[in-house]
Amino acid sequence: MGKLFGVNTRISGKVGQYIFRQTKTGTVVSEAPVKPSTPLRTQRQMDIRTQWANLGAVYKLFDSMLRRGFEELPPGMNVYNAFIQANLGVVKVYITKKMRLNGGVILAPYQITRGSLPSINMTLTSANILQSSVCIDSLVIDATTTVGAFSQAVLENNEAFLEGDQITFFHGSQTIDMVTRTPRATIKGYKIVLDTADDTMLWDHVSPIGFSSVNNFVGASQVITDGAAVWVHSREDVEGDLKVSTQFLYVENAALATYQNNSALVASINSYGGVNSAAVYLQPDLSSN
């Protein structure tokens, strides 16, 4: 703010970015306040923003179990950022802001780990039982199977595994809140370290849900319905760094499709303020995105 003298002393009001005001002591000039502009929220920006809600909710379900799930992260990037980066725009799931605040989450086939160990493949048997590619040959896993016997079978039939390696099975369950109708989910992790000298019972450490024998391979004990599942191979090297296999969740979830269509996209966008442009954001064919 300042005083003017000379030719500008009779000016009053706003001129450009300045405001002139006449006082008893002269003409006072000040800068006009800058009106905050509303940021443009485009269709693309909101499409990305609305995916974050479910991605963050699914990551939270793992409750730090993925804290070392991505190898060799660049400086400044943590595992959560890597998880978001790996899945954003790949598997699109849209939940509303209200749903997220109420604890809503939809299990989806997201990538949960990325690393240098060979991936564990998953297939469905003719009976729809999920089967891994971890071969155990003729070993039949039951309540009498020891960790040592299981470890020996894995090491003898799978070149990628070494003594001391870990196999983790993640099992997710999708439910619907009967009062609010909000979709909810849980994820449990079961891990076993391969130790041929361990004579404790395998099922004292892990659940049969992910550590059963299926056609000479490690598999699930039941059909995965309204849920998700995956096996992860991990190894800590001599320097203390964790190596993992790259894995994606297998998902059998009837609720998933409801939150991947255009109606879910529109509802989610509107819950976060909508698109403040003239562009129409309805997309009849989401598969083209």
The pLDDT tens digits for 199-248 are 999 999 999 999 999 999 999 999 999 999 999 999 998 888 899 999 99
Q: Which two tokens stand for residue 273?
A: 């303020």
From residue 98, alpha-carbon distances to 26, 56, 73, 148 in Å are 56, 15, 33, 49
* Residue 72 clears pLDDT 80, i.e. is over it: yes
Q: From CA 105, how far away is CA 174, in angstroms rounded? A: 9
Percent of the chain with pLDDT over 90: 70
Residues 6+ apart with CB under 8 A from 224: 130, 171, 250, 252
Going 191 to 197 to 203 to 205, the CA torsion angle's sign is negative
Predicted confidence at residue 15, as pLDDT, reads: 55
Rounded Cα distance between 195 and 92, Å, is 40
Residue 208: HSE in the Cβ half-sphere, 13 Å Cα cutoff: 11
- Averaged pLDDT, 104-113: 97
Q: Which of 20-24, 47-51, 142-146, 239-243 is the most confident on average?
A: 142-146
Token pair in block for residue 85: 């980066």
The confidence score (pLDDT) of residue 237 equals: 85
Mean pLDDT of 38-50: 71
- Max mean pLDDT among 32-36, 235-239, 262-266 falls in 262-266
pLDDT of residue 281: 47
Q: What pLDDT, on a 0 to 100 scale, did the predictor assign at position 255?
A: 93
- What's the chain's average pLDDT? 87
Tokens 């469905």 identify what position?
A: 124
Band of pLDDT at residue 64, cut at 50, 70 and 90: confident
Strands 111-113 and 26-31: unpaired
pLDDT above 60 (res 179): yes
